[in-house]
Structure 1
Amino acid sequence: MRDVVVVGGGIVGLATAYEVLRRRPGADVLVIEKEAEVARHQSGHNSGVIHAGVYYAPGSLKARFCTEGAAATRDYCDDRGIPYVDTGKLVVATSEVEVRRLTDLTERARANGLTVTPLTGAELREREPHVTGLAALLVHATGITDYTAVCRALASDVVAAGGEVRTSTAVTAIDESTGSVTLTLEQNGWETAESARLAIICGGLQADRLAAMSGLNDGADAFRIVPFRGEYHRLPESRNGLIDALIYPVPDPDLPFLGVHLTRMIDGGITVGPNAVLGFSREGYGKGSLDLRDVASYARFPGMWKVAREHWRTGLAEQRDSWRRRGYLELVRRYCPELTLDDLLPAPAGIRAQAVLRDGTLVHDFLVRRTARTVHVCNAPSPAATSAFPIARHVVDLATATA
C-alpha cells in the first residue's frame, strides 16, 4: 500500500506531491496523470503571470494564497534556474464607471497588503506611451514565468525524491474503506488498481467527476465544472517592445474573469487575451470543439441555467467577439488604440475550469472537499498557478488531519 496517491499532473497536483515528500522524505508517493505529459491543460495554457493578488476579497483563500504563492514561485524559480521577470501590472480605466471601480480595487489591493500606485491618465501615458486611459493602478509585485517549465521541474523533483509520476493513466473509480482508498486505473486499455492511505485529487477540468466517484458531488452541495475557452492572439514580433508592464482592463466585479489584457511572455512576445467563451468541450482547444458528454453535464445542471439567465448578455457578447475578430480588437483598442486587425495573429487557446454550484453561484474562491481518506481540490482557477505552493500546503494539512 502506498502512502499517498495524487491525481493530476498539473501544477497543483505536482506541488502537492512535492510538499508531501518535503515533509516526509522517503514516503511512497504516486502521481497519476491521464495525459502523456504533465501540464497539458490549465497549467500549460495560461498567460504565465505571477499574480500579486490585487483582485481577491481580503481574507479569502485566494488573497492569502496568491500573496504567499507569488513569493514561493519566485523562490522555486530561483532555486531551479527557471527564468521569470518582475514586470509590474497596470490596471487601466477607460470610462468613469471603471475609474470608480479602480478606486475600490485600490482599497482592496491595499487591504491585501500590496504596494500599489494610482496614476492619472497623463502619468499612465508617460509610463506606457502606447497605452491610454483616464486613470490606472500600478501593481508592482506582478511578474511572468513559464509554468510548464515549473511543472516539469516539480515532476523531476518528485521522482528525485523517490516518488513516481505515471502518465497516460486515467482514474475510473475511487473506493474507500476504513483504512485505505483504492483507485481503479486504466492505462493503454489495461485496468489496474492502486491502494493508498490517502488520495489527494487535483483534477482540474475533471474535478466534479472525480469528486462524484468519492460521493462528494450530490444533492444541495453539488457542483459542475463549466469550461470557458480563453482565446488568445499573439502580436507580431515587430510589436514586442509595445509595452513594459502587463496591461489589464478594470474587471467586472460580478464575473470571475479579468478581461482581455496584453501580456509580455517570457519568450519576449506579447499575447492578447483571453476572452471568456462558454466551451463545448472541456479539453478541446480548437475553435468549434464539441464533446456532447461535456455539454450534457452542464446543460442538465440547474445551476448553469441560473448562470445563463443572469449573464446571458455577457455570454452572447463574448460569443460574438469570438467569431468577429474586429469585436475582439475593439476590447483591446480601448486602452491600446494603435493596434489593428493585422496585429492579431493566431495563438493557442486555454480552457478555464469554473465550478458552478447548484444555486447558480460561480465559485470565486478555491473549493476543497474531503472524505476520511481523500481530499479533493474542486475549484482552483486563476491564480492557482501562482498559488500552487500554498494550496499544496493547505491540502496536505487537510489530508494529514483527515488521516
Structure 2
Amino acid sequence: MTERVGVVGGGIVGIALARLLTGRGDDVTIFEKESHLAQHQTGHNSGVVHAGLYYKPGSLKATLCASGRVKIREFCEEKRLPYREVGKLVVAVDASELAALAEIERRSIENRVPDLARIDDIVRLREIEPHTAGVAAVHSPRTAAVDYSTITEAMAQDVRAAGGRILLSHEVTGMAEENGRVRVTTPVFDDVFDRVIVCAGLHSDAVARFVGADPAPKILPFRGEYWEMTPESASLVRGMIYPVPDPRFPFLGVHFTRGVYDAVHVGPNAVPALSREGYRWLRISARDTWESLSWPGAWPLAKQHWRMGVDEISGSLIKPLYYRKARRFLPELKISDLSHRAAAGVRAQAWGRAGELIDDFAVDQVGAVTLLRNAPSPAATSSIAIAEYVAEHYLAPTPRSRLHRR
C-alpha cells in the first residue's frame, strides 16, 4: 500500500531514507531548511568510511556501521563515485596506551573489521606510515575516504527519478497530528502525511518538541575544528593516523585524515559551540546557549569533563597547543605545516538529564512520527543501513513506540 511520507532533513540519512521509501513506491516529500542538501553534519565531516573499530560490539553503531560500509562502497561503485581505501592506523604512542589499544583490537575483532592487523613491529609500522611515531598500532586497511555531499546528491537524484519531491528552503515550523495523520507546516507550505520521519540532526530535539516527544535526549553542539596541511607536508601522511581514544571521553582526539581528493586534515578538536550551527566562535545564539546551560544535565556534564573542555578550548584558541597534540604522532611535523584552518563541523551530541552523553544511535516514535534523536558518527557510513533499520523496525504496520537506545 502506497503511503504519503514526509521526511524532515536533507542530510545523508534523511535522503537515504527517502531513497529507500520512493524505491518501494511511497509518495515522499523531503523538507530541507537550507538552499542545498547536506549543508550541516553531512557536508562538514572528514569523509571517512569507518570500518567499525571503536564501537561497542552488539550496539546499533557496530551493527549498522558494518553493513553500512559495504552498502556505501556498493553505491559508490554503482554510481561511479570516488571511493578510496586509504587505510587507518590507530597508534599507541607509548606503553601507557597499550591496554586501551588492546581493547580497540578486541572490539574490532568482535565487530569483524575486515583485514584488521595488530602491528607490534616498528619496522612494519613504518612501512605503513613511514613518518609516524609509536610503539604499536592496529591497522584497518579497508577504512576509506569518500565525498558524502556528492553521495547525498546522487541519492537525491534517485529520489527525484522515483517521483519524490525535495523542497529546499522549507524550514519545518510545526507538526500536528490530525486523525492519525500528520500535518507538516513551513512558512510557505503545509500538507498532511500518513507518516513523518525526522532526521533533523542539530535540530532533532527542537523538532521533536513539535509532537510532544520526551525532551531527552537534548542536543549539545560541539564544534570540531581542522587545520589543513600544506601540499608539501601532506606527503608525511599516507592514509589516516588516529590516536588511541581515551575511554573517559566521547571524542577520538586530534588525528590525521587523507581525504578522497588528497588533502590532509589535522583534527578535529571538540569545543562546545555557542550555537547549533556555530561553525565559528563568533557565531552565537543566545537561545541555543541558554537551552544548553539550563538543561538539568549541564552541570553534571561540566563537573565530569571540565578539564577536557579547558584543554580543547585552549587548543582551539592557541595554535601551538593544537600543534603539540598533533606532533605526538608525527615528530617531523612543523607548525608551519598547518597551513590554514579548514571548514569546521558541528557534531550534534545527544545527552541525558543526568549529564550522560548518549553514545549509540537512538530512535523515538510518537504516533505516526519517527524521530532520529541521536545519529553521530558513523551515521554517514551507516546511512543506507540506518534507513533499512528504521524502515524495518519503525515503519512497519505496528511500529515500536519506544526510544531505542543500546
The verdict on a shared fold, with TM-score over 0.5 as the criterion, is yes
Q: Distance in 1 between matches of 2:382 and 2:397?
A: 21
- 1:13 matched residue in structure 2: 14
Tell me whether 44-53 or 298-307 shows the greater mean CA deviation.
298-307
**Map of 1:57-96 to 2, 5 A cutoff?**
57-96=56-95
Is 1:139 the equivalent of 2:135? no
Contact preservation (8 Å) 1:224, 1:297 = no
Query: Which amino acid letter does the alignment assign opposite residue 132 of structure 2?
Result: V
**Map of 1:37-186 to 2, 5 A cutoff?**
37-114=36-113, 115-120=115-120, 121-186=122-187
Deviation at 1:193, TM superposition (A): 1.1
Deviation at 1:194, TM superposition (A): 1.5
1:132-154 per-position Cα deviation (integer Å, ceiling 9, x unaligned): 11111101220000000001111
3-state DSSP class of the match of 1:54?
A: coil
Query: Which amino acid letter does the alignment assign opposite residue 399 of structure 1?
Result: L
**Map of 1:2-401 to 2, 5 A cutoff?**
3-22=4-23, 24-25=24-25, 27-114=26-113, 115-120=115-120, 121-186=122-187, 190=188, 192-218=189-215, 222-344=216-338, 345-397=340-392, 398-401=394-397
Contact preservation (8 Å) 2:273, 2:279 = no
1:242-296 per-position Cα deviation (integer Å, ceiling 9, x unaligned): 2222110011112221111111111111011100011101113123321111101
Query: TM-score if structure 2 supplies the norm length?
Result: 0.95
Q: Distance in 2 between matches of 1:290 and 1:383?
A: 27
Contact preservation (8 Å) 2:101, 2:138 = yes
Contact preservation (8 Å) 1:374, 1:399 = no
Query: Which amino acid letter does the alignment assign opposite residue 69 of structure 1?
Result: G
3-state DSSP class of the match of 1:382?
A: coil
Contact preservation (8 Å) 2:269, 2:312 = yes
3-state DSSP class of the match of 1:182?
A: strand
3-state DSSP class of the match of 1:85?
A: coil
- 2:402 matched residue in structure 1: none
Query: Which amino acid letter does the alignment assign opposite residue 199 of structure 2?
Result: C
Deviation at 1:402, TM superposition (A): 4.2
1:202-258 per-position Cα deviation (integer Å, ceiling 9, x unaligned): 01000001111111124xxx2210000000010111123222221100111122211
Gapped regions of structure 1 (runs ≥ 5): none
Q: Distance in 2 between matches of 1:60 and 1:127?
A: 30
Q: Distance in 2 between matches of 1:341 and 1:240?
A: 13
Q: Distance in 2 between matches of 1:302 and 1:371?
A: 23
3-state DSSP class of the match of 1:170?
A: coil
Contact preservation (8 Å) 2:225, 2:341 = no
3-state DSSP class of the match of 1:20?
A: helix
Contact preservation (8 Å) 1:11, 1:39 = yes
Deviation at 1:337, TM superposition (A): 1.1
3-state DSSP class of the match of 1:47?
A: coil
Deviation at 1:174, TM superposition (A): 1.1
Query: Which amino acid letter does the alignment assign opposite residue 356 of structure 1?
Result: W
Contact preservation (8 Å) 2:93, 2:134 = yes
Deviation at 1:2, TM superposition (A): 6.5
Q: Distance in 1 between matches of 2:287 and 2:180?
A: 34
How many residues align structurally?
394
Contact preservation (8 Å) 1:29, 1:164 = yes
Contact preservation (8 Å) 1:66, 1:383 = yes
3-state DSSP class of the match of 2:297?
A: helix
- 2:404 matched residue in structure 1: none
Q: Distance in 2 between matches of 1:129 and 1:396?
A: 45
Query: Which amino acid letter does the alignment assign opposite residue 338 of structure 1?
Result: E
Deviation at 1:401, TM superposition (A): 3.8
Q: Distance in 1 between matches of 2:348 and 2:71?
A: 24
Q: Distance in 1 between matches of 2:44 and 2:331?
A: 27
3-state DSSP class of the match of 2:184?
A: strand
Q: Distance in 2 between matches of 1:372 and 1:226?
A: 26
Query: Which amino acid letter does the alignment assign opposite residue 396 of structure 1?
Result: A
Query: Which amino acid letter does the alignment assign opposite residue 352 of structure 1?
Result: R
Q: Distance in 2 between matches of 1:295 and 1:237?
A: 38
